Amino acid sequence: LLLITAAPESTLAYVTVCTPLLAGLVQGWRGAAVFAALQVVIVFSVYTSVPKLEAGGATGLLLPGFCVIAGAVGVTLRNLLLRFGTATQALTETRARLAVNEAVEGERTRLAREMHDSVAKTLHGLALAADGLARSADRMDPPTVRHQAELVARAARRAAAESRELLTDLRREQGLEGGVDILTELAAQAGDFTARHPLTATFRRLAEDTPVPPIPQAVARQLLTVASEALENAHRHAGPTYLVVLAGVKDDVLRVSVYDDGRGLPAGTTLEGLRRAGHFGLVGMVERAASIGARIRIGRGKAERGTEVRVELPLAALEPPPTHPPPLAPAPDPARLQAPAPTPHVSSPRPL
């Protein structure tokens, strides 16, 4: 109808080339060929039915040629779109596989860290205590043998409890736990360390007048493990005379630190060197701090000697994200604007 009313020689008639173009896009070569041929037949039929039109010469072949070209262009675009869709699907599948592999690798790293910081360490101590008891049992009196056997049994029970705790943590669903009183747990941890070792670990609270909110179970577990690892590392490697566990909130930042007055870190200590040497204690602490978005600093700090392990976590990181967008607030006064809080990062162990 458009060809008859507007005539094939008019500019408006060239709109009809969209028919083979769409046919090529939707149906491929077969559809483009059928509709292009049908379009050419219609064009020549219009030429023959209207006496005023002349189908001879280049003018008469221009519109049919455009129909054929439009069909070829439609098929080409269809092939390009199909290839793009295939490539996009392959990219999506590759990203999904990479995400799965990354999740698996992250879980393997977490399990290795948990095993090193809990069960493996306790079993190593158990083996040392059992070896000492076996070598010197014939030279000790019965009360001493009984005491050493009780230590071995206590270490075995501790290993079993840590194994159950690890399995419980693996099976626990997120979001079901309540908050943890981190100060009480750290004080109990320091008391337990003092009871198990001939070394006093003193707990002190930072900023007595500032309350500490309940800490989510997952975050508290990482903080408590870092503190426990710092205490054990100081006892085994630093030779200190006392330990101080300090915790509290200051400037909207939760701080947990463990200080010892021992030998300190050897000069040139780095995480990569510790990882290559097979010492994963400090590496595990850094990874745990990074997993909860906290900043960790390991070094002498402002003290003249010893080592301080300090973990700082902004309280804003403990708040759940809002489920609904907050209402619009008036523009703040520029004179009251404060600098944003620094982004939590992880720093490598600082050599003495």
User: What's 273's domain CATH number?
Assistant: 3.30.565.10
**pLDDT attached to residue 167:** 65
Which among 315, 173, 303, 155 is positioned nearest to 251, based on CA atoms? 315
The reported pLDDT for the residue numbered 259 is: 94
Q: Give the residue numbers spanning the domain of 267.
A: 179-319+342-352
Q: Are residues 201 and 84 in the same domain?
A: no
Find, among 246, 275, 238, the residue nearest to 352 by Cα: 238
Burial call 225-247: b when 16+ CB within 10 Å, e when fewer: bbbbbbbbbbbebbebeebbbbb
Residues 196, 53 within the same domain: no
Do residues 54 and 70 touch, judged by C-beta distance below 8 A?
Answer: no
Whether residue 88 sits in one domain with residue 188: no
Q: Which of 93, 128, 153 is the last residue of a domain?
A: 93
Structural domain contains residue 294: yes
User: What is the C-alpha to C-alpha distance for residues 103 and 284, in angstroms, rounded to an integer?
Assistant: 18
CA distance 153 to 166: 20
Residue positions counted in the chain: 352
Q: Is residue 130 part of a domain?
A: no
Q: Name the residue among 271, 291, 293 with its Cα closest to residue 283.
A: 271
The answer on 221 and 80 residing in a single domain is no
Contacts of residue 313, defined as CB under 8 A and 6 or more positions apart, other chains included, come to 219, 223, 253, 254, 255, 292, 293, 294, 295, 344
Residue matched to tokens 């007055």: 261
Answer with the one of 93, 111, 139 that is the final residue of a domain.
Answer: 93
Determine, yes or no, domain membership for 108: no
Does some domain include residue 59?
A: yes
The reply to whether 219 and 352 lie within a common domain is yes
pLDDT at site 136: 76
352 in the same domain as 211: yes
352 and 215 co-located in one domain? yes
Residue 240, C-beta contacts closer than 8 angstroms, at least 6 positions apart: 199, 234, 260, 261, 262, 306
Position 201 scores a pLDDT of: 93
> Quick one: pLDDT at residue 312?
92
Q: pLDDT tens track of the chain, all 352 residues?
A: 776 666 666 666 777 777 888 888 888 888 888 888 887 787 777 777 665 555 554 556 677 777 788 888 888 888 888 888 888 888 877 776 776 567 567 667 766 666 666 666 667 777 777 877 777 777 777 887 777 787 777 777 777 766 766 665 555 444 445 688 999 999 998 988 888 888 899 999 988 888 899 988 878 888 988 998 889 888 888 889 999 999 999 888 999 999 999 888 877 777 677 676 666 677 788 888 888 888 888 887 777 888 999 999 998 877 765 544 445 444 444 443 333 333 334 344 443 3
Residue 88 resides in a domain:
yes
- Tell me the three-class secondary structure of the chain, residue by residue: CHHHHHCCCCHHHHHHHHHHHHHHHHHHHHHHHHHHHHHHHHHHHHHHHCCCCCCCHHHHHHHHHHHHHHHHHHHHHHHHHHHHHHHHHHHHHHHHHHHHHHHHHHHHHHHHHHHHHHHHHHHHHHHHHHHHHHHHHHHCCHHHHHHHHHHHHHHHHHHHHHHHHHHHHHHCCCCCCCCECHHHHHHHHHHHHHHHCCCCEEEEEECCCCCCCCECHHHHHHHHHHHHHHHHHHHHHHCCCCEEEEEEEECCEEEEEEEECCCCCCCCCCHHHHHHHCCCHHHHHHHHHHHCCCEEEEECCCCCCCEEEEEEEEHHHHCCCCCCCCCCCCCCCHHHCCCCCCCCCCCCCCCC
> Has residue 195 been placed in a domain?
yes
Determine the distance from the C-alpha atom of residue 349 to the mean position of all C-alpha atoms in its chain, rounded to a whole number. Answer: 22
125: nearest Cα among 87, 155, 162? 155
Mark whether 186 and 312 lie in a shared domain: yes
Q: Do 85 and 185 sit in the same domain of this protein?
A: no
pLDDT attached to residue 266: 75
197 domain residue, yes or no:
yes
How many domains does the structure of the chain reveal? 2
Which among 51, 77, 93 is the end of a domain? 93
**Is residue 282 situated within a structural domain?**
yes
Give the C-alpha separation, 207 to 257, whole Å.
Answer: 14
